[in-house]
Amino acid sequence: MRRVNHGETLRSNRLRPRSFGFVILPFGITSITLTLIISRLAVCLFIALLSGTTSLVVAQPAPMLAARAWMLVDGMSGARLAAFEPTARLEPASLTKLMTAYVVFSALNENRIALSDTVTVSPAAFAAPGKAAARMYLEPGLEVSVDQLLRGMLTVSASDAAVALAEHSAGTVDAFVERMNAEVRRLGMANTHFSNATGQSDAQNYSSAEDLAILARRLLTDFPQHASLFAQREFAYNNVSQTNRNRLLWTDSHVDGMKTGQLSASGWSVVATTARAQGEGEHAFQRRLIAVVLGAASDASRTQETLRLINYGYAAFDTVQVYRRGHVLAKPVIWKGDRGVVPVGVDRDVYVTVPSGELRRLGSEPLKSLIERPDPLVAPLQQGETVGRMIISAGGRHVAEVPVVALEKVESGGLLRRAYDAIVLWWRKRNG
């Protein structure tokens, strides 16, 4: 990989590389305001939160909760804010239905099923195991829509609805569970395995706080159109009106999902999502946190401990939006293509999460940003194809990295263009 050094200018509190390649961006803080310091630091720290892996951001000590395991994640940046026994394998109880929902949402996206589909209730769905209250009270032979089944499963944890959805989506419950575990592997949930679609107690049905946080974030990012289902407080079917067991929906107005679970073997558990307004002007956004608390002693304790974790996350950390999806970082030369340059940048909104006050403390340290890519860059290129990476360091310490992608498609050029560029590249390589 060839590396080329380039200069950098700072305009409108944004980093805009003049050219692309291996870029080193020195930063000073002399005679600049705190706002500018924060802007520069944000640009230099955001990478850690976009790489697909979540690193633990250090801040004031997190509270010790009365639970067996927990995790708190910033839903915008992906940063892990607090964790205790995050990989411990525990029975997730009805939190299993979050993966049931993920598989059903996938089937909806692929047009294999539709919300308006009517499902004939099978004897197996009618006889679904579980608590008497955790059901829609479906009757065999009756027809019910997929939309109603989803609302019943996610609002009142209806196990009969979960079985009916599994059968309708995959033909059989066993086939559906295979799809659940295929998604487990695809999403990188290393400490999870499902043996059923309802959360029925089983030694082979387990998950972890870390994996459930991964699943919750992917539910929100992959299927935002269904997010409102997790916030529904009440559900009525078959002349029975029931309320959501997630008491956080009533306790904190910022909480907007997701799901609770309870088994005598594993205790009282919850995955909760919350959003609060943060930022100003064009950088205003709803900052989301994802809290997973497993194995609390009671419903009341589950609610109280989760609130403590959420409040800690908002008080101890700040999240800043530094780039919007599609922001162009540079326009490097591309060879053998139907054009001479290609815009490259980030293909999603970019956020950084740091401990409160950390930006001010880091303001006195030298910061460097570096971009790596193959040289030469040769067509064809697909839109969204990774063409390099950006590496960030603060005070000589590697922070993290993020993929840099082609923001537009570049087709192969004509015969003459390809031949001419091949000669130029050969000559350049021959002469070093």
Residue 157 is among the residues annotated as catalytic for this protein = yes
Quote the CA–CA distance of 210 and 207 in Å, as a whole number: 8
CA neighbor of 289 nearest in space, from 262, 238, 255, 322: 255
Which two three-digit tokens encode residue 158?
């209806």
Residues 39, 77, 122, 157: which is the catalytic one?
157
DSSP percent split of the chain into helix, strand, coil, nearest 5 = 35, 30, 40
Residues 39, 77, 94, 269: which is the catalytic one?
94
Residue 94 is among the residues annotated as catalytic for this protein = yes
Residue 253 is among the residues annotated as catalytic for this protein = no
Which two three-digit tokens encode residue 182?
């295929």
End-to-end Cα separation, the chain, in angstroms: 13
Query: Which residues are paired to 406 by β-bridges?
Result: 344
CA neighbor of 188 nearest in space, from 218, 226, 222: 218
Question: Under a CB-based contact definition with an 8 Å cutoff, are residues 353 and 74 in contact?
Answer: yes
**Kindly report the CA angle at 409 between 406 and 414, in degrees rounded to 5?**
125
DSSP designation for 328: E
Residue 276: CB atoms within 10 A of its CB come to 14
Quote the CA–CA distance of 243 and 416 in Å, as a whole number: 69
DSSP element (H, E) containing 15: strand 14-17
Question: Under a CB-based contact definition with an 8 Å cutoff, are residues 187 and 180 in contact?
Answer: no
Omega prior to 380 cis, within 30 of 0: yes
Residues 39, 77, 97, 368: which is the catalytic one?
97
Residues involved in catalysis = 94, 97, 157
